[in-house]
Amino acid sequence: MNYKERAKALVAQMTLAEKCAQMRYDAPAIERLNVPAYNWWNECLHGVARSGAATVFPQSIAMAASFNPQLMEQVAVCISDEARAKYNEYRKFGDTQIYQGLTCWSPNINIFRDPRWGRGHETYGEDPLLTGVMGAAFIKGLQGDDSRHRKLDATIKHYAVHSGPEGKRHSFDAVVNEKDLWETYLFAFKYCIDHADPSAVMGAYNRINGEPACGSKTYLKETLYQKLGFKGYVVSDCGAICDFDQHHRVTETPIESAALAVNNGCTLNCGDTYKWLKAAVAEGLISEETITEAVEKLFEARFRLGMFDEDCVYNSIPYDVVECSRHQEINKAMADESIVLLKNDGILPLDNTKNIAVIGPNADDKSILLANYNGTPTEYYTLLRGILEASKGKVLYAKGCHIFDDEIHSWQEQPLREALIAVQKSDAVVMVMGLNPSMEGEEGDAYNGANSGDKSDIELPKTQLKLLREVKKIGKPIVFVNVSGSCVNLTEADTECNAVVQVFYPGAMGGKAVADMLFGVTNPSGGLPVTFYAGTDDLPDFEDYSMDNRTYQYFRGKPLYPFGYGLSYTEFRINVKSSSLKGVEAVVKNIGNYDGKCLVKVYVREKGNSRLNRRLAGFSKVFVPRGEEAAVNIALSRDVLSLFEDSSRLEIIVE
């Protein structure tokens, strides 16, 4: 009997009340049918989250900067190993509570359309293809390759047109035209469904062109299930169904809200609105048959995960895999490849025998390693610790300033002078600046309550700019390390400093990775997954979902650092041998002095299209020892090319 038949046979024995209860994320036990209680809510955005000790990998935006889907899949295999190992122990208690199950609400494949969105660092950046490729690799690593059982259920979110504002997400209507819908907002969802078969989709809080995302006939029933061919189940974002009547006002009662969601394909409710489903049946708003079909889909998923089988191959994964040495090695490798070198006048790599002043509020901050939706690492390296352990010279540390508050009372510690003393006694300065996760995040998570986690601008805090200017006056060479999950205006750092490095929240091994890069143990190879604009004035209205003048594809201005940009300690020469819409063949020669990885990007540009600058159609990352060369073959994405009506008008650009 297959999973569908097993689910059908089991659900046929349930009462209506039992079926309705199973459609809530905190599904109760049905003891008479030997069904244990199961909590569907688990998170693994960049490691098993909120469930104690776990390997904490770099945040999603950082992993996107690696442009390395093969490494991304390895990361996801590690995560799924740890999630399974924890589940194998948790289930011995007789049930599974929140953050203990096999159904993970990751990855976030929304497009980071505006750098002010607080949750953008949970995504893979602003490009649809990069997002789709990295998302698909993550899904494959999570779900496993066993022919009988799934390792975990991956859940792509937040379907579909969702990227702020956080403070209005429960009532906001994202208005989008058909072209932007399919070319930008739906692209990664379609790509992941076509290439990785994700188990689940999570709906967004907002409306899309007037319809609530978690109850939309147009975008759930007709688009996701019919046009995109999605075969799995849909879960609501937490509390999103009650928004229908309370905030969106598209229904009058929670009974109507529950019926609207389920009738249009939202199978599982994170929240408690589905407690009204039995009443909705009584009122004739939904049929019991529709509820039965939804519950069968949920139990088919649980059977496929091997929850009711003793011979599931993943049942034997031991707890010893949690934070094992292999996972730490992969964590360090991903952290290495996520670092982006933006400027270098020759100061890097640093001489690790010299005296170095490490200055800045992010230098010894654990939170910038962890980002959000994170686990708890047993061992971690702040950037200061990494530099201290790697340096053979003296390291002088001073915080220098508060990360955002420029009001320091007379009775408080005065950190600026300490920083200036350290700089005076050093040979070079590493300034570790930027943001932390309390300054950009989800509604309710970040300190900036007025913006509910979003940023009002992309400027560095004034207190940090003051510190930079005072340090600059001393005249020592400066390496400016910006830590953030999003674009920050680095114009002054670019002008005034000898080197600029972008570190997206880098995970528990982040300090080791940054130190190895600074001292030349590793060679930076990351590329920007988002455009770094020169200032807030370059940005359109945050609430406007048109892609016009947004991201590298449509931006009409000149960015400070473009999408995909990233320097190396060595120099590569790319010689294109052949180029067509089928693919690009090239030879990459390392003509510099360091071994390194070269990121080769292929874009297409449409002649006569004044709106679209260009679009990423393929990429590859290749290791080339110094003095040697390597062949690169990059197939152009059929998914991207299908967006253009006349392929004869396309030009190919290789960088």
Catalytic residues: 237, 440
Distance CA 186, CA 377 (A): 35
Cβ–Cβ < 8 Å for 207, 252: no
Cα angle 625, 576, 348 (rounded to 5 degrees) comes to 40
Here the tokens at position 570 are 């060595």
Paired with 396 in beta bridges are 357
How many CA within 13 A on the CB side of residue 155? 25
Cβ–Cβ < 8 Å for 559, 533: yes
Distance CA 372, CA 382 (A): 16
Burial of 250 (0-12, 13-18, 19+ CB in 10 A): middle
- Helices in 200-312 by DSSP H: which ranges? 243, 254-263, 277-282, 288-304
The amino acid occupying position 179 is: K
Burial of 517 (0-12, 13-18, 19+ CB in 10 A): buried
Within a 10 A sphere around the Cβ of 19, how many other Cβ atoms?
22
Distance CA 175, CA 164 (A): 12
How does strand 650-654 pair with strand 596-606? Answer: antiparallel
Among 434, 425, 428, 469, residue whose Cα is nearest residue 346: 428
Within a 10 A sphere around the Cβ of 132, how many other Cβ atoms?
26
Distance CA 200, CA 202 (A): 7
Give the three-state DSSP class for 596: strand
Distance CA 481, CA 494 (A): 11
Burial of 167 (0-12, 13-18, 19+ CB in 10 A): middle
How does strand 583-590 pair with strand 596-606? Answer: unpaired
The amino acid occupying position 550 is: R
**Residue 5 CB contacts under 8 Å (≥ 6 apart), including other chains:** none
Q: Rounded to whole angstroms, what are the CA distances from 460 to 165, 220, 276, 435?
A: 20, 40, 48, 8
Burial of 444 (0-12, 13-18, 19+ CB in 10 A): exposed
**Residue 219 CB contacts under 8 Å (≥ 6 apart), including other chains:** 159, 160, 208, 211, 213
Per residue, the 3-state secondary structure of 257-288, as one string, reads: HHHHHHHCCCCEECCCHHHHHHHHHHCCCCCH
Residue entry with tokens 């960088």: 655
Measured in degrees and rounded to the nearest 5, phi and psi for residue 71 equal -70, -35
How does strand 629-635 pair with strand 583-590? Answer: antiparallel
Give the three-state DSSP class for 528: coil
